[in-house]
Amino acid sequence: MSGGIDRRSFLKTASVAIGAGVVVAKSTTALGAVVTGNVKSVAGLKVAPIDIVRVGMIGVGARGPGHMNTYLHLDGCEVRAICDTHEPSALKAQSRVVKAGQPKPEIYTKGDYDYRRMLERDDIDIVVIATPWRWHVPMAVDAMNAGKHAFVEVPAAVTVEGCWKLVDTAEKTQMHCMMLENCCYGRDELMALNMARLGIFGDLTYGEGGYIHNLRSQMRDLTHGCGFWRTGYHERRNGNLYPTHGLGPIAQYMSINRGDRFDYMTSTSSPALGRAEFAAKTWPADHPRNKAEYTCGDMNVSLIKTVKRRLITVKHDTTTPRPYDRVNLIAGTKGTFRGYPSRVSIEGRGGHVWQDINKCRADFEHPLWTRMGEEATKAGGHGGMDFLMNWRLIYCLRNGEPLDQDVYDAASWSVIGPLSDVSVANRSNSVDIPDFTRGNWKTTKPLDIIT
């Protein structure tokens, strides 16, 4: 290590900084998971039906407006309050609500913690959190403690301790805490899930997901916007910064936390070269972007083993100039599904030759997409997945049904990020993955194929 820091000292510091050392990761009680006889699981949590779902928005600059626009067009949903530290964004969102024909919502713009004043309202049922990552846990925890269901953008947490805080609070309050992992609602992801449940792939053995998305241009955000705060993670961490888009669908195919769970993982990173090169080409030598040290490898590859010995590969690269790709591969003893472009190879249906996915839709389209796909596509939002996710969560709340994702999914999928940092720093040695369900994964039923 540079600067005269020896390896042992570095690992100790890294463990404290991200809240999860190799040893600490094995000790869930050290991270807030105090198991007592009073702990009540929220797997399959149902709450009383909410006739009109009243929404409070925190963060309406990037992802927030897309969510809000969907809520404004859904029956039985009202946006009551908006919070954002950037007042122009809050005012713009407020005007959109009025334009949609709803009463003018109150806005909260008086600093980082003004959201807590919004949480004091008694006319909000759910809080939608679309803020920089470091705020996800405190805002979701505060929302649940205030009696509101929390819906938080990805990743739900960036430390192991933060993951446990979400789980502990959801169990204590018996409130929903769902990560808004929209990729689970893509047409092809839903179809692959349906095929897995139908046994088309046989016994599942391997999955692969990723987030390959060239985002170097976000480094131009110097005072506001995603790149303003997101670039800093490439300076402070070295691992998989954004695991859930690729991992979430694979976890659902494999019924993770519902019959199987993540057991341990290992992670390796390439050199970190691309962002420094981009900075050198874009700004003068004395610019802050050129003075920064980018430590996060351009490509990170993490391997996860499950209790049932399945293998999952998760990739992360937001630096290299290459086409967008979430991989989305699921393989079993009878067949394989592979995304980008989507195709299948199924025993007895073409042998070793890839088949165009469209030739299989008539047989395996997910019932939810059959029902809502046309409306979702028209509404837009990453091909309709954003709309379908938000439609589905509002539907579940209005009908008192369990959500498709719960706090255990949020924690299990998100924790791969900080644990990958630990593994990379420790010569890619394996790291145990906490059982956030406290053993309930053994009896929780798989996700239903909803209609």
Of 128, 145, 180, the last residue of a domain is 180
Task: Please compute, for residue 393, the number of CA atoms within 13 A of its CA located in the half-sphere on the CB side.
Answer: 30
Helix (H) or strand (E) segment spanning residue 369: helix 367-379
Q: Residue 20 above 50 pLDDT?
A: no
Please indicate, yes or no, whether residues 209 and 171 belong to a single structural domain of this protein: no
Question: CB 54: neighbour CB atoms within 10 A?
Answer: 18
In a domain, 57, yes or no: yes
- Residues 249-275 have a mean pLDDT of 98
- Do both 187 and 330 map to the same domain? yes
CB-count exposure of residue 304 (10 Å: 0-12, 13-18, 19+): buried
Q: What is the pLDDT of residue 293?
A: 98
CATH of the domain at 309: 3.30.360.10
Q: Please give the Cα distance from 213 to 393 (Å, whole number).
A: 27
Model's pTM, two decimal places? 0.92
- Among 134, 164, 180, the domain-final residue is 180
Query: Does residue 415 lie within any of the structural domains?
Result: yes
Same-domain pairing of 274 and 360: yes
Predicted confidence band at 17 (pLDDT cuts at 50, 70, 90)? very low
Cα–Cα separations (whole angstroms), residue 281 to 142, 217, 364:
43, 12, 48
Report the mean per-residue pLDDT for the chain.
92
Asked if residue 344 and residue 235 are part of one domain, the reply reads: yes
Q: Same domain, yes or no, for 244 and 97?
A: no
How confident is the model over 96-131, as pLDDT tens digits? 999 999 999 999 999 999 999 999 999 999 999 999
In-domain check, residue 382: no
How far apart CA 149 and CA 179 sit, in angstroms, is 11
What does the pLDDT look like over 291-305, one tens digit per residue? 999 999 999 999 999
Q: Which domain holds residue 151?
A: 53-180
Tell me if 16 is assigned to some domain: no
Same domain, 176 and 193: no
Structural domains of the chain, count: 2
For the stretch 327-376, pLDDT in tens is 999 999 999 999 999 999 999 887 678 999 999 999 999 999 999 999 99
Q: How confident is the model at residue 33 (pLDDT cuts 50, 70, 90)?
A: very low
Rounded average pLDDT over 16-28 = 34
pLDDT tens-digit profile of 408-421? 999 999 999 999 99
314 is a domain residue: yes
128, 218: one domain: no
Tell whether 148 and 200 lie within a shared domain.
no
Last residue of a domain, one of 162, 180, 198: 180
Whether residue 26 lies inside any domain: the answer is: no
Same domain, 175 and 312: no
pLDDT tops 60 at residue 31: no
Same domain for 156 and 224?
A: no
